[in-house]
Amino acid sequence: MAIRDQPRVSLFPFMSVLACTIGALMMLLVVMSLGAVVAGDASARVGAEAVGPGSGGGAGSLGAEAALARAESLWGDVDRALEQAGLPPGLSKSSIDRELARLREKEELVASLARLEAEQARVAEEGETIETTVAVLESRRETLPILIDPTGLSQELRPYFVECDEAGVTAYRATDDFRYFVSNQDLSTGGVFGRYLRRVRVEPGALLVLLVRPDGVATTRRAERIAHAAGIARIARLPLPGRGELDWSLLRRAEAGTN
């Protein structure tokens, strides 16, 4: 009797699919397990960081307290400095800056005032030096000889010189050293001075020159009135700068040249 071939069913495709499915599930479980472990470690680190400053950060807390105490001490120093400067304590930083700017301006003004005072003192010292120099020059001028210069005098005029000071008048003869003094008490048209004026009046081209000393203004006015009363037509005034001796050398040389 012949044996029929029995049909056979192959399980290869099904087993392959099952193996793949099981492998995929195992991989998924491994990934999920690793994700849970990583998440747990991250949570632990975050918790440690959150708990650390409060429970295990004692040194950080002490440092903050020290900084705060230092700041309060510095503000106390600032308040005391403000009180010493006459300002109320507790001013804000902007107010302190404004006060400091005002104080700097005040210091600059004080410095400028000091410079001005120093300059004024220097000018005053120079002024004293100048005044001393002027006084020395004045004293020298008082004693220096006074040169009588005939420049500008007409050759047609014949000058007669009379010096006038506080004490009286002195008549000079320019050709030599002759001089004659008349006190203020003796000044009159009828005295010695009057006779001198009458002699001058009759000279052709006579010119009476009154030499005025610094203290002889009043005497000059009196002598001029007497000269007018005596009939002198030409009268001139020549102020003298000091008390020095009269130098007639130029006048004598001029007269010698004309002669």
Q: What is the 3-state secondary structure (H, E, C) of the chain?
A: CCCCCCCCCCCHHHHHHHHHHHHHHHHHHHHHHHHHHHHHHHHHHHHHHHHHHHHHCHHHHHHHHHHHHHHHHHHHHHHHHHHHCCCCCCCCHHHHHHHHHHHHHHHHHHHHHHHHHHHHHHHHHHHHHHHHHHHHHHHHHHHCCEECCCCCCCCCCEEEEEEECCCEEEEECCCCCCEEEEEHHHCCCCCHHHHHHHHHHCCCCEEEEEEECCCCHHHHHHHHHHHHHCCCCCEEEEECCCCCCEECHHHHHHHHHHC
φ/ψ of 186, rounded to 5, equals -100, 5
Determine the pLDDT at residue 58: 54
Range of lowest pLDDT (22-31, 90-99, 109-118, 184-193): 22-31
Please tell me the predicted confidence (pLDDT) of residue 218: 96
Q: Give the tens place of pLDDT for each residue, 222-239.
A: 999 999 999 999 999 999
State the Cα–Cα distance between residues 92 and 185, nearest whole angstrom. 90
* Fold designation for 146-258: Nucleotidyltransferase; domain 5 (3.30.420)
Average of per-residue pLDDT values in the chain? 76
Specify the pTM.
0.49
Domain ranges in the chain are 146-258
Instruction: Read off the pLDDT of each residue in 210-231 and give the average, rounded to a whole number.
Output: 95
| pLDDT at residue 26 tops 50 | yes
**Bridge pairing between strands 206-212 and 235-239:** parallel
Residue range 186-209: mean pLDDT, rounded = 91
Q: What is the CA radius of gyration of the chain?
A: 63
The pLDDT, as a whole number, for residue 131 is 81
Percent of the chain with pLDDT over 70: 65
Residue 1: pLDDT band by 50, 70, 90 thresholds? very low
**Average pLDDT in the 51-78 region?**
64
The model's pLDDT over 140-197, given as tens digits with 9 standing for 90+, comes to 666 688 888 877 777 788 899 999 999 999 999 877 778 999 999 999 988 899 999 9
Give the residue, 169 or 8, on which the prediction is more confident: 169
pLDDT of residue 127: 82
> Is the pLDDT at 46 greater than 50, yes or no?
no
Q: Which position has the higher pLDDT, 16 or 151?
A: 151
- 234 vs 71 pLDDT, higher one: 234
Q: Identify the residue with better confidence: 126 or 184.
A: 184
What's the confidence (pLDDT) of residue 82?
66
